[in-house]
Structure 1
Amino acid sequence: MGCFYLFFSVIVSWALFLPSTHELQTSQSQVLTQLRKHLEFPSPLGVLENYTGDLCNLSSPAHLSISCQENSITELKVMGDRLFNVTEFNGFAIPNKTLSEKFSIDSFVTTLSRLPSLRVLSLVSLGIWGRLPDKIHRLSSLEVLDLSSNFIFGSIPPKISTMVKLHTLSLEVNYFNETVPDWLDSLSNLTILCLKNNQLKGQFPSSICRIKTLTDLALSHNELSGKLPDMSTLTSLHVLDLRENDLDSELPVLPKRLVTVLLSKNSFSGKIPVQFGDLSQLQHLDLSFNYLSGAPPSNLFSLPEISYLNLASNMLSGPFPNGLNCGGKLGFVDISNNKLAGDLPSCLGSTSDERVVELSGNCLANASQHQHDHSYCTKALARRKQSSVREIVVLVAVAIGALLVLVLSVLAVICLCRRYRSRKSEHNIFAKAVPDNSPNDLCSNIVTNARYISQAAKLETHGAPVCRLFSLEELRVATNDFDFSMFLGEGSMGKLYKGKLENGTSVAIRSLAISKKCSTNNLKVQLDSLSKLHHPHLVGLLGHCIDSSGQDDSGGKRLFLVYEYISSGNYRTYLSENYPEKVLKWSDRLAILIGVAKAVHFLHTGVIPGSFNNRLKTNNILLDEHRIPKLSDYGMSLITEEIEKPEAKGEGPKSRRKKDLEGDVYNFGFVLLESLVGPIVSGKGETFLLNEMASFGSQDGRRRIVDPVVLTTCSQESLSIVVSITKKCISPEVSSRPSFEDVLWNLQYAAQVQATADADQKSDATSVS
């Protein structure tokens, strides 16, 4: 009997100390199945179809993450592959990577609310569309809500204000087109607020300044206007990103713990506050392309942590203070295209590999870069003052005119109301005769928002400069008559020069010889099409000039293409061992590759007609000062076709388009390959690298061929994903090559895997320390 009790006690103890499996409740498994059906069976959730085990213990890839606690789902992350794509319908560009018309966001959120323990919800790039319903607040336990890169429009639901546990709210890259809510301070635990890349309007709500916990605030690439309030109360704020809005106040007082401040491409005016010089933790400040005036505060340049300072394209004027010093970490300064005069401080004038200084377009006395005469800056400032006076006079006149219009409008409204009452009964009869066959107003929403979606499909084209016609004389002045000092290089696509337009804008000018038989009208049509391609990762075509004076070597005409100038060189340079201080780690290479892949995917599917055969090479990928990639030479096949290449006999447009599309995939495969192994060695070329692909199959082979910088900064899983898609891209069998959409999805997947690995490594290092 004693042995029985002893055995029983051992069994009970063993059972008590068994690890908990947190087997998921059947009802919650059913919810996941229903969500998969709502989302029209996206590939990341395909694992649910035949899986019979416990989903809480699912060994999931990075694009699907499920976590549980006490038999309930607490975390659901899904990274989809429904990337931006548009189709033309009745003259409108409609996204066709959204879920179908059968999708109901209301029903979808209702199903989600059956996961009451959910703390983290991330549903990215799944094609979700419609107006986000108020019932999202039923997920009252949520701490993280991320619905980025979908097609959600309308307003941000007011009931989100009751979700007080939220510390991260990310709705970026959607189509929200109302005002920014003024109740955001109800979210007392909010640390990250990201609403960038929408179409939010109205003023910046002062209620945001009452969120004491906020560390990251991103509202860039919207349509916010008016005044920016005092932000010094945001004592925890580290990142402030308000780029590319219409804010037009003076710069506000900022909190002292800021690390990154991005306020470029607005209409801020007045002087830069002296208080900016007290931001002791500031590393990155961008105030470019505004209307700031006066002299910049001297202590701004000597901040202890400042590494990037961009004050370009403002109205800054006057001399620098005597004894201005630069901080030891200051690596990039851009004060170009202002009205600064006097002597240049020595710390900005001395040439050094450790500091890049852009200062052209001013009136500085001892500067080596292009400067205007002192009188130019004086006259420009005088014109500015006269313009301000005229603006005041115009505003007064407009106000008087508006008052008169208001009076007339009131009288007109009274008349219309009387006529409306007489027709009201007739209108009601007509309304009843029209059937409503739209479930949940889906069809009416699509029709109502067709123009709106069409505008969104242009990817930030609002405010973009129209492609203009340049005169040859303008280009001569810009390049100092095409002086050798402005010559950047020559290749199969003609000569390339750097230029400076009269307004101070730096440009790159390509010179091409064209045949006398070339149709100028057809060429202009193609150039007009190219000028309308606006994307964050494309070098913008600003304009062109066709010179018929017959001054090229062959006596024919010349075509000049004027592009925006990208300052930080090409991607190939950053892969070369010749510049070890520039070489990029793996996560940075992935970010650049993803940007380029987005641009090419846009060229293939985001415009009508698509642009193919886009000369994809590492030296055609340029990097700006933020290391954001921009693809150059895209669409040149359209130009060369008009200039010199008649259509091949027997080869129709469809077959040529297919060939060009496959060519882009193949060429991008070699961009991926160079990202893995470094620039292709001269003399070895493609054949050598194709033979070396077999080396990727083993660890020893990878160590032999892969760039050491990649090997020391990558996770093996992330590297394997990119190796796999690279092999497919450069497959000799055309039918085996992936679509560009697949390429982009795999790169995003690899980046997410790498980010997870980096976060784990950082967490482990913190734990050890």
Structure 2
Amino acid sequence: MENTHSFTFLTILIFFVLPFSFAQLLPSETMAVFRFQRILEYPSVLNGWNRWTNFCYIPPSQSLKIVCSGNHVIELTVIGNKGSPYPSKVFSISSQTLSSNFSIDSLFTTLSKLSSLKVLSLVSLGLWGPLPAKINRFSSLQVLNISLTSSNFIYGKIPLQIYSLTSIQSLIFHDNLFNGSVPDLSSLTVLEELDLGCNILGPEFPSLGNKLVSLVLRNNSFHSSINSELQSFDQLQRLDISFNQLVGPIPSLLFSLPSIQYLDLAGNKLSGALPMNTSCRNGLNFMDLSHNLLIGGLPPCVCSNSSDRIVLYSWNCLSSGDSKYQHSNSFCHVEALAAVMPSKQKETSKTKLGLLLGIVGGIVGSLVACMMLIWVIVRSLGKKNEGNSRSQKSVIEKTSVRISPRLGTESRHMSQAMRLGALGLPPYHAFTLEELEEATNNFEPSNLMGEGSQGQLYKGWLSDGSVVVVRCLKLKQRHALKILKQQMEVISKLRHRHLVSILGHCFVTYEESPNATDTIFLVFEYVSNGTLRSHLTERRKQEMLKWPQRLAAATGIARGIQFLHTRIVPGVLRNNFNIKNILLDENLTAKISDYKLPRPFINKITTVGSESPFNGAELDDLDNTGHGDKEDVYQLGVILLEIITGNPITSQTELDVLKLKLERGLAEGPKKLRGETDPSIRGTFAYESLKTAVEITKNCLSEDIGERPSIEDVLWNLQYSAQVQDGWTNSENLSTHS
């Protein structure tokens, strides 16, 4: 029995003591982790650390992962909550990064104390500055990820010392501000993944190790031929060098690399003809050759789309495919010649052009001298008239100056976008009850459009013939009317191209009865072309919205939300957007019909079209979280999901299923993603345009509020998607789908 008790005690002792005796970090590494927390200015994800914290036993999460081996940290992944300012990060860097006290040099000095570190991923922490040369101290590092998803701003040249990372297998610097030439990376013999996309690197194609599995160099400034060494990359599965300025022929062996699956060469100046005997690997399921300067025909394995392979080759000068989507041969010859013209030849051309301009300039100068002499004579004769002109000009200038004060003191809060958004609408007007009675034929029941918690809606016709919607709302609190009157100037600013704008109001007060209910009538513009939801479900093919139209509607909705968030003071948040409340006018312009009144109204009043009008106490509590804008972004994500799939979403389960399908489509490739879209838009979109829209939709629907993009990010991505679409669709095709 005594032995049994001893064994039990020993077991308990081992259970409690061993983790702390064997998994405690070395004192130097513990100090380094605390210093790391301090340098990053104590981000919330690292809160709660103290001297008793056992870093090796912190449960891993989406935001933080620390893995230890022995007494050393071998993996450090930190995801902060800095918002991504993409795409204009150069201009908004100060609001998205760590403070001016931050030192990236100190950060990497501290991290180098983790002598056995193998995985380093720093996400959404707002890092900024040039990558220090002491990166060579990380001799054990296998994965280094500092990319756009990190909202980091690493700029300058990639240090030459990067070649010292001989153990590195994955190097991701995607979407930073690196510039200049890429160092020779051929010595990194175990490097399998390299992503330098969306920087400013170039002009020479980098020298790389041939063990790469994935190589992404898209959206840089490479201006050379494709490195012929790529033809020996036997393990390469993914190659994306799109949207650079690469010139010369495409090495035909790229299509038959032993492992190649994805090949994107679009948006360069690659020229010449592919040999007709070019062979393609069976596993190559996606290739994009579009927007280059290729001529002639395409090899049989390239020119045919199939269920197993997607091929894009529009906007070259090819004889294959539909000529509507190809340039003329002369276009490609001229552009290819300009792209590869030696710099000396260009300089000679400039010299000749300068000489010619000099001769022409001399002739023009002589003519100007003669004209000056004539002008002096005419000017002396016209001095008297000049005085009159001056006085007239003075009157005009004074008149124009008087126009601007009409905007009042609030004009400083109104952007040019706001003023332009109100174009086409009549001036805001305080209606009388008589005017509204005349407009609605004394609120004739036949003009009643709807009734419920949102109040009664009547269709009406103003004296100028314009059609309006009049909403009748009863005020539950006697002091609410006074607050409303104080805030009508703010309400009058709610006018934008992508909002169902408020045109005016009317107050009705019943002073004679203490129990009577005050009434407010809000007058809105009338939008006649139905809801966006109905346009997505209309089965008549000629009336179904195609991808360009859906993209335009989505962009319009984002612009309307941006206006509510940023162009009104205070911002209008937590609007509970729904696709059924997005209306389309006769030009298919999207207009948001359901949004809140500005915050002073929420405290005492209601939302425009809310489920519980004039009862906003619970909304006030929600606003204290500070995430109202991100909740609106989530609702926009739901709308985007319906736009892409065409499926109505009536439950959280349906939302989760559709979101999962799109995520799988992104992961599995173009064929799968295309198959998850609304069948009525297939064939009307550029894949890159769709992919961009799907990616931002997925981000909008993130469960983690901190990971959702800002409305500016959403708007930029939708605009980029539209630009890609415009480049893919010629004007004739666009008019057909419109």
Q: So what's the TM-score if we normalise by structure 2? A: 0.50
Larger radius of gyration between Structure 1 and Structure 2:
2
Q: So what's the TM-score if we normalise by structure 1? A: 0.48
